[in-house]
Amino acid sequence: MFAIALIFGALAVFSYPPYNYAFLLPLSFFVFFSILLRVQRPLQAFVIGLAFGVSYFGIGTYWLFSVLDNYEGSAALSYLIILLVVVAFLSLYFALFALVSVWIRQWFDSDAVWLVMILPGLAVFFDWLRTWFATGFTWLLPADALSQGGLEGYLPLVGSLGVGYLLYLVCALGVLWVSRKSFRYFVVWAVISVIVWLGSYALKSTPFTQPMDTPISVRIIQSHFGVHDKSQTYNIVKRMRTFQYLSRLEPMATLNVWPESSVSTDYQEVSRYLQEGFAPLKQNGSEVLFGTYRRGRNGSYNTIMKASTQTTVYTKRHLMPFGEYTPAWLKKFERFLPAFPMDDLVGEEGQGTFEINTTVYAPSICYEILFGDELRRAAAHANILLHVSDLGWFSNSWANPYLFQVAQIRAMESRKPMIYVANRGTSAFIPFLGGAHAVQTQKGTHYLQQEVIPRTGTTPYDRYGNAPLFGWILLSVFLAIIINLQPKKRRKV
């Protein structure tokens, strides 16, 4: 069983971008749940869950190891050790899920009640823990593999965690059918599976939001700059000049958007050059949003700035550990750690939307796109989602197509269009129903221009978040306990 868990944990990864063999995900969790049904001891379940998690996260987060190309010698070794510890830590989520699941099963007389009413909700609980515990790491949530031709219709209703719950429920019902070898349970599994998938198909074209009257002309500017191009003043100024030239090309756009770190130095050091190049744009009523850094009392801030007023419209809140800051508990080992670039970055809470010419934007920077529950509050009040990324760290790894698919999930959750700009990988205009328009993936410096139609209104998920989902899970647990307390002769399962 240990080997089987290793194999199917690895196979599950290929359901995600760039491979998108989505059928492997329900198959893998079906096998995983089947194993847990046969395991009798919680400690054995812990080891099996750990095996599943090691292969799942070890392969699924391999892109983190591409960062090693930016380090040499002992620094690379230190970073490698950190990454291995991160994979081991993430694997504990599956290990603890398996342990707790089998321990809880000992309290239930009916495997059917445990499988259908307890197991899916418990799996979602551990997914939810991953979204916030130890700053959160939401990579490889089931919804990220099922957002294209799967269960994406439910995203505006229940978000990513809700889609995961539906997957776990269908897998659990399949395990119940196979374990009981009963035609009745086959019918239950088949009917619910068909209802779930047909429901998604019916919902995926439901708009939930309404288009506004005036489209906005938007230009995305992308340049294939990497980590080593960000620290040299000559390259920074040359990139700024090129971006400003492309922003001024006729016919000018109402809004130009540059990637994160497009001005990859402290803003105060290059403000004079920027103001000179932005003057013609300001005179023609063309706005520019660009990514840069601003130094404050507590450190440096990763920001999006507005060219016309030279003011910050957004500061990154959710920073990435071991890349943008070192967690406090690890600083005692600082002398053993590599020197992380931008390790003095500081987040800033309490931010939301910003407005340009009556259009409201909900911004996010890089890593933040993974945290749908954090972004939904701003998205509920916005007309357009705006995302900028610096993906130069990850070269040509799986991270680029994966993050682009997650961005489409955020658009589908809120039913708002997204302007998605990255320095490497994909830049695109994402419609409110997902997919992509005017995609740019080529190397070099390019721009895309398109009219974006703002939308107003909000989706149930943006308004209520995960509250309805967890309400349903708690109700299921309560009913499971009530059923379990009934005399055995009165039970139907």
For range 255-276, the mean pLDDT: 89
Token pair 């700009």 is found at: 421
Cβ atoms of 433 and 203 within 8 Å: the answer is no
- pLDDT score of 193 more than 90: yes
Instruction: State percent of the chain over pLDDT 90.
Output: 65
Residue 158 exposed, middle or buried by CB count within 10 Å (0-12, 13-18, 19+): buried
Cα separation, 387 vs 365, in Å, equals 6
Confidence bin at 429 (pLDDT 50/70/90): very high
Q: Which of 41-55, 198-212, 276-290 comes out lowest in average pLDDT? A: 276-290
Tokens of 382: 């916005």
Q: What is the pLDDT of residues 50-94, one digit of tens each?
A: 999 999 999 998 877 766 565 555 556 666 777 888 899 999 999
Confidence bin at 321 (pLDDT 50/70/90): confident
Neighbours of 492 (CB within 10 A): 7
Q: What is the pTM of this model?
A: 0.92
Confidence bin at 342 (pLDDT 50/70/90): low
Q: What is the pLDDT of residues 90-106, one digit of tens each?
A: 999 999 999 999 999 99
Residue-averaged pLDDT of the chain = 89
Cα separation, 59 vs 139, in Å, equals 12
Question: In degrees to the nearest 10, what's the CA dihedral of 68, 73, 75, 81?
Answer: 70
Q: What is the pLDDT of residue 166?
A: 97
Angle, CA of 33, 34 and 35, to the nearest 5°: 90
- Pairwise pLDDT comparison (9 vs 73), residue with the higher score: 9
For range 146-155, the mean pLDDT: 88
DSSP one-letter string for 7-53:
HHHHHHHTTSTTT--TTHHHHHHHHHHHHHHH---HHHHHHHHHHHH
Number of H helices, E strands in the chain: 14, 15
Q: Can you give 446-465 as a three-state secondary structure string?
A: EEEEEEECCEECCCHHHHHC
- Pairwise pLDDT comparison (313 vs 425), residue with the higher score: 313
Q: What is the pLDDT of residue 479?
A: 96
Instruction: State percent of the chain over pLDDT 70.
Output: 90
Neighbours of 288 (CB within 10 A): 25
For range 379-399, the mean pLDDT: 87
Token pair 């932005």 is found at: 278
The residue ranges of every structural domain in the chain are 2-207+464-490, 210-458
Q: Which of 192-196, 311-315, 475-479, 484-488 comes out lowest in average pLDDT? A: 484-488
Q: Which of 4-18, 75-89, 117-131, 142-156 comes out lowest in average pLDDT? A: 75-89
For range 294-303, the mean pLDDT: 84
Q: Which fold has domain 210-458?
A: Nitrilase/N-carbamoyl-D-aminoacid amidohydrolase (3.60.110)
Q: What is the pLDDT of residue 298?
A: 77
